[in-house]
Structure 1
Amino acid sequence: MQLVKRFRDLLVLISLGSAGLAHAADTPAGNRPATDRVTVAGIAAACDPAAVKAVAAKLPYGMVIKPIANGPKLPGGTKYVAATAQRPGYCQVTGSIVTNRKTGKTANFLATLPDAWNRKYLQFGCFGHCGFFSLNDAAMPLVTIVAQGYPGQIIEKGYASFGTDQGHEDPTGGNWAIKGPGKVDQDAIDDFLYRSNLVLARGGKAFTRAFYSQATKQKQTLAYSYFCGCSGGGRDALVAASYFPEEFDGIIAGSPYANMVNAGVQIAGNYLATRRAPGADVPPSLIAQIDPIVKAQCDAVDGVKDGLIQNPAACNFRAERDLPRCADDKPGSNCFTLAQAQTISAHLTAVTDENGRLVQPGFAVSEIMPVFREGARPTDLSAPVDWDNPPSLGSIANATLKIFTNRNDPNFDTRAIFSFAGGGTGPVTDFRAIVPRAEVEKAHVAVRMGIGDDPRNVAKLIRQNRKLLIWHNSSDEKLTPYMSVNYYKQLAAMYGGYEKLQDDIRLFMIPGSSHCSMGQQGPGNFDAIGALEDWVEKQRAPDALKASLFSHTSPFIDPSKTPLRTMPLCKFPEMARYDGKGDVKQASSWTCSPSDKRMLEVGESGRQAGVTQ
């Protein structure tokens, strides 16, 4: 009954809003205000704490302008940064906003307001389970992880941008929601699942209008409103697309943590696979030997040997069959024992329930990384798992399953719900993690408002002609790319096929790149915001995105440097085709064609990973 009540409260919040508020923009799509810059000559004075507090005081959101512990240090809660040769001037503001008027619950926010405003609003998603601002701060170089593009681009474009810590100041998985044994802070969980972003969307836009109106002494309106995020921020984006798409004209979801339950059981399963038996761990030296084996089988599947596997699902690699096995099953430096091969299989194979039904697809075979070995391997493998020491993806998984779902029940043990086996009567037969369907369904109910991959929920976005651009790194080592592939295939089946779906929702896969393009073999950086602007504002839908590779190991982007490689990212299910004669490292040697559907091909790797056919 409590879950039903919370859902009804959400519907009331979404349908009623607050008096006098606009949604995505202030006028219908066919009558937008001009997007010429609003230049504030005296923005330094407008950025004074007293002036900003006066703006906030007039708004019905309980906004308090103040310094915050988990964001940039702004005396009085504001700071003006003067223009440089590289970047325009801007005002940053921190504070809190009331997310639940009944309880007084608040979430912290950060606003970045340029002195040459483009009349647009951009809201950033967060990362992981949030609690910090380093990746949703437009002034920080690492904002490219969330927004792509290059450092300072958002400010240069003139966006008023906002982000929230989602109602807590602890960046660990879920300890911020614990109130005691068997007790959790549901208010804090609701802020994290959806509510803080919904409230900030309305409060942030109202604050933007009021700030620039006061600064210019003229009434200002919004032309367009956007949302973008990657990883946990990609989840935020899909939740917005699912439950309150009217707040944004366009949404970008990068490598989304779309379903925290399904991703959680996979993360925990990978974590436990290396600890299930004394000989199950696979050292990094052995893991490094896997990719050359995979590349030898799969690199040419897309038509050219160039070091990239565009569609890893089309490969036929299977760990237990294709990895070199150790004689007499004795560990060696260039071979895998059965237990080690099974550990790799558990990483690449879908998680299923006890009846062999798909729960979560496995990881891609391209650029396999040792991320599933996170945390120190304990001497006593039977000892209780310390998911938070050190903080890792495992702490995120445990938070979803034990804290959010089982209310921090001291008798619930995340490890206890997992088993490992191969075989079965379903399509997925390789060695894998298995979880009870009842536990998965229980978790889906508990965190439903924070799940963004139910295809039924984008019907409103499509009716309203909003735009959703999804991208996912094909070699994502933290959130399997097949989450997005399966989701998009479900959308196509439900909404009239790929061509019709592409009117409003497009997916782009990024070959050879890791989570949120933080390291890669192939081009992983592109102008996501520019592509969305063209789609929403000029009705030029992106058929391909030109991506660049600046570094194999660093997420920092320097657009003044010559890229190491460029390549088009085609809209799914198209695959980039090499012309057979040009430089494979130049985008001009590749084309995208609507008749090319090779991303739909599924081989043994994809079938065992649970890729929908």
Structure 2
Amino acid sequence: MMTSTPAAPRAERRTRLLGGASFAFAALTGCAAGTTAERLATSAAPMDIAQLCRPEAIEAVAATLSTKVTIREIPNGPKLTGGTKLIAATDRLPAYCQITGSYVTNPATGKTANFLATLPVNWNGKYLQLGCSGSCGVLLMNNPAAPPITITAQGYPGQILEKGYATFGNDLGHIATGGALSMDWAIKGPGKIDEEGLIDFNYRADQVMARMGKEFTRAFYAQASGAPPKITRSYFNGCSQGGREALVAASRFPEEFDGIIAGSPAISFADIGFQVGGAAVATLRSSDAAVSAPLMALVGKTVTQQCDALDGLSDGLIQNPAACDFKPERDLPLCDGSNAGQCFTKAQTQSVSALLSAAVDEKGAMVQPGYSVSEPAADFSPTKRPADLGNPVPWTPGDAGSGYWGLAEGVLATLAHRNDPAFRLRSIFSYGTGGRSGMDGFHTIVPQSEVALARSVLGRGSPRAADMGGLMRSRTKLILYHNLSDQVLTPYMSINFYKRLAALHGGYSRVQRTARLFTLPGTAHCGMAGVGPANFDAMGALESWVEHGAAPNALLARQNDPKTTIVTMGKVDWSKPAIRTMPLCKFPEMARYKGAGDVKDAANWACKAGDTSMLQIGQSGRQAGVTD
């Protein structure tokens, strides 16, 4: 049990000062709301979780469900012998039952998906569905008992269990066979893919689980009460792939959830493939086109010097990178023989431009926005250079040093072209300058026909603002957030999506009744790294909005160890004070420093109602394809 600290009252006051932002900052600084024993002591009849979690009891539960469910150990999740395991209570966490198995997603074909259920003794009457990560196929990032859950769901480790949620996650109907972004699971042979698996991946595995998971939850806890209890609230939470799943739920079956959180979503895998594939191939155009990590760091330093003060304060954070006027071909120092190691060839500036610029079709229509200029990463630039730069197949599947190529190949060659052995992905990319709407730098060009094909195959799993009518008419609430230095999924996907949503539904004030967007300056994909505060209580904010009508005007974010990764997440000491805190304003507002006090203290920042600073677009935003 974490003990209270003197900082707690001040943290609580900050929460109030941030305009109703719901953030369990006290818990993050060591003020959890009582021990497990204290919470359970308030229950009139504490349940015997050991009895409920017996294998024969779980089998009996599964037998009652309308969806066919098989309880078993699965190869891509926590190893639970027989598919069940009781985890005993600790001084901080309640006892809980974890269950794995499979469920039928299509009765006509017998297609299944694997799942993980986590059912705590202190059940709060609520259901929470957790999204996946990468191309899915592994039950890890949607395991509330695993340290990486803070990447998927934000908050702090164990928070979901402490709150008492019954949680379910699935593998989107396949078992991962390659890297995190590999689509190898879909390959069934030359010219053949798993069509049923593609449907599960697009939307069906989540849609079926939304019903199965709630039915399973009621049947499980009915063992203790003798009658199926009511689920009082139902939520969905995910980041990255899970963010895409969340938006798919919001667009296709919002009635299944009272509230949805979509973090840094991969809104359109089809469109992402064109931009990242083009960025990777751009580095092969000549022997001097590759961009090293040190050179990308120099890009970042140049951008910071040029753009940091645009928000009124030089503090290392660029609040609105789209407002920058950075242009690689113009602003990066060219090599002249006297600045070795601190300069760029023309080809290298063009490679950087291809990363930061939108991919367009041959008629100039935007296909996918470019990346943010703030804290740019070298991930796109392959570290493994093919011996023949003109090779039509520059990298073989699974090449670890291929940069973003693997994602593009999986989405476009494997899924869109259904593993056609004659298709050569590299052949679809060309490059040019000039264009419309300010997208006049060096950028990727792809054929309209390829775009139409990819969207037709992946369209059912690619949510559009135009598909959100059902959500906007419902009582379901949506919190959308995106890291502004996201090096994997450009934040401009979410910003353009939200702008379109506002245009379709009466403007920002109208849309904010149902859906709110928050952007996180200086933070990398799903908050795993960066120079800015990246962690916040997403579930607390959504609960306050759905259950108490307190819409979040700002979210209080904290910065942990900036070196945190998926691997080191479990080693973060959450009892230590945050390195920095600040408010995340609802879009299009931007956080402003009040002019006095520690810039790393959220109390010295404010979100001004009616502010539209995040709508400002400079050269960088226009080049990246940020819409007006």
With structure 2 as the length reference, what TM-score do the two structures score? 0.90
> Does 2:191 align with 1:185?
no
Deviation at 1:375, TM superposition (A): 4.8
1:494 equivalent in structure 2: 504
Q: Within 5 A, what are the aligned runs for 1:73-84? A: 73-84=79-90
Q: Which moved more, 1:209-218 or 1:482-491?
A: 209-218
2:34 aligns to what?
A: none
Aligned counterpart in structure 2 of residue 103 of structure 1, from 100, 109, 127: 109
Matched residue of 1:111: which SS? strand
Identity percentage of aligned residues = 52
Aligned-partner Cα distance in 2 for 1:387–1:178: 12
Residue 307 of structure 1 aligns with which residue?
316
User: Which residue identity does 1:507 align to in structure 2?
Assistant: L
CA distance in 1, matches of 2:436, 2:547: 50
Say if 1:38 and 1:117, in contact at 8 Å, map to a contact too: no
Query: Secondary structure at the residue paired with 2:539?
Result: helix
Aligned to 2:95: 89
What amino acid is aligned across from residue 255 of structure 2 in structure 1?
E
* Equivalent pair of 1:356/1:426 in contact (CA under 8 Å): no
Deviation at 1:425, TM superposition (A): 4.9
Picking from 144, 148, 155, the partner of 2:154 is 148
Q: Which amino acid aligns with 1:365?
A: V
Q: SS where residue 447 of structure 1 aligns?
A: helix
1:436 and 2:447 aligned: yes
What letter matches 1:361 in structure 2?
P
Distance in 2 between residues matched to 1:521 and 1:553, nearest whole Å: 10
Q: CA offsets per residue over residues 340-381 of structure 1, 9 Å max, x none?
A: 111111111111111221111111110011111245222222
Whether 1:234 aligns to 2:243 is yes
Alignment of 1:97-496 (within 5 A): 97-172=103-178, 173-327=182-336, 332-383=340-391, 384=393, 385-390=395-400, 393-425=404-436, 427-452=438-463, 454-496=464-506
CA distance in 2, matches of 1:331, 1:449: 50
Distance 2:314 2:281 in 1: 35
Contact preservation (8 Å) 2:266, 2:489: yes
Q: Deviations over 1:370-407 (max 9, x none)?
A: 11124522222222132422286432221221222111
| Structure-1 residue corresponding to 2:536 | 526
Which deviates more, 567-576 or 391-400? 391-400
Q: Secondary structure at the match of 2:379?
A: helix
What do the CA deviations read for 1:105-151 (whole angstroms, capped 9, x no partner)? 10000000000000000001101110001100000010111100000
Distance 1:39 1:293, change over 3 A: farther
Partner residue in 2 for 1:32: none
How many Å apart are 1:483 and its aligned residue? 0.5
- Give distance in 1, aligned partners of 2:404 and 2:219: 40
Local SS of the residue matching 2:316: coil
Cα displacement (A) at 1:518: 0.3
Residue identity in the other structure for 1:599: M
How far off its partner does 1:38 sit?
Answer: 8.9
Q: Distance in 2 between matches of 1:127 and 1:61?
A: 25
Return the alpha-carbon distance in structure 2 between the equivalents of residues 375 and 386 of structure 1: 14
Letter in 2 for 1:443: A
Tell whether 2:73 aligns with 1:67.
Answer: yes
* Secondary structure of residue in 1 paired with 2:376: coil
Give the aligned residue type for 1:479: L
- Contact 2:478–2:514 under 8 Å retained in 1: yes
Q: Give the CA deviation at 1:426.
A: 5.2
Shift in Å, 1:40: 4.6
Deviation digits for residues 449-469 of structure 1, max 9, x if unmatched? 1101x1111110111121110
Q: Distance in 1 between matches of 2:98 and 2:380?
A: 38
1:175 is displaced (CA, Å) by 1.4
**Deviations 1:257-278, CA, capped at 9 Å, x for gaps:** 0111111111111221212221
Range 403-412 or range 514-523, more displaced: 403-412
Distance in 1 (alpha carbons) for counterparts of 2:112 and 2:431: 42
Letter in 2 for 1:301: L
Which one-letter code corresponds to 2:579 in the other structure?
A: L
Cα drift, residue 558 of structure 1: 3.5
**C-alpha distance in 1 between matches for 2:472 and 2:428:** 38
Partners of 1:520 and 1:551 within 8 A in 2: no
**Aligned match of 1:597:** 612
Q: Could you tell me how far apart the structure 1 residues matched to 2:278 and 2:124 are?
A: 46
Contact 1:318 1:604 in 2 (8 A): yes
Q: Which letter does structure 1 place at the counterpart of 2:455? A: H
Q: What secondary structure is seen at the aligned counterpart in 2 of 1:117?
A: coil
Shift of the alpha carbon at 1:178?
Answer: 1.4
Give 1:259's aligned amino acid: S
1:588 and 2:596 equivalent? Answer: no
The letter for the 2-side match of 1:296 is: Q
- Flag the 1:485–1:425 CA change in 2: closer, same or farther, 3 A: closer
The aligned amino acid for 1:184 is I
User: 1:182-214, CA deviations, whole angstroms, 9 ceiling, x for partnerless residues?
Assistant: 111100111111000001111000000000001
Note the C-alpha offset of 1:447.
Answer: 1.2
Q: Who is 1:571 aligned against?
A: 586
Instruction: Please give the alpha-carbon distance, in whole angstroms, between the structure 2 residues aligned to 1:38 and 1:310.
Output: 50
8 Å Cα contact 2:379/2:403 also seen in 1: no
Give the aligned partner of residue 14 of structure 1. Answer: none
What are the Cα deviations for residues 527-580 of structure 1, in whole angstroms up to 9, with x where unaligned? 000000001010100000000001111042533110000000000000001001
Task: Give the one of 513, 527, 533 matched to 1:517.
Answer: 527
Q: Which residue is 2:59 aligned to?
A: 53
Return the offset for 1:595: 2.3
Report the CA distance between 1:331 and its aligned residue. Answer: 8.9
Q: Give me the CA root mean square deviation.
A: 1.5
Return the alpha-carbon distance in structure 1 between the equivalents of residues 289 and 381 of structure 2.
11
**Partners of 1:276 and 1:214 in 2: how far apart?**
64
Secondary structure of the structure 2 residue equivalent to 1:370: coil
Q: CA deviation at 1:176?
A: 1.3
2:280 touches 2:403 (CA, 8 Å); kept in 1?
no
C-alpha change, 1:443 and 1:148, in structure 2 (3 Å) is same
* 1:218-268, Cα deviation, whole Å (9 max, x unpaired): 431100000010001000001111101111111000000011111111111
Aligned equivalent of 1:22 = none
> Residues 40 and 215 of structure 1 are in contact (CA less than 8 Å); yes or no, is this contact kept in structure 2?
no
The Cα offsets for residues 571-604 of structure 1, whole Å up to 9 and x where unpaired, read as 0000001001111000000000112110000011
Q: 1:393 to 1:236 in 2, by over 3 A?
A: farther
Give the secondary-structure state (helix, strand or coil) at the position aligned to 2:221: helix
SS state of the match for residue 118, structure 2? strand
Aligned residues: 576
Aligned to 2:5: none
Conserved? CA contact 1:273–1:280, under 8 Å: yes
**Alpha-carbon distance between aligned partners in 2 of 1:553 and 1:476, rounded to the nearest angstrom:** 15
Residues 119 and 374 (structure 1 numbering): CA distance in 2 closer, same or farther, change over 3 Å? farther
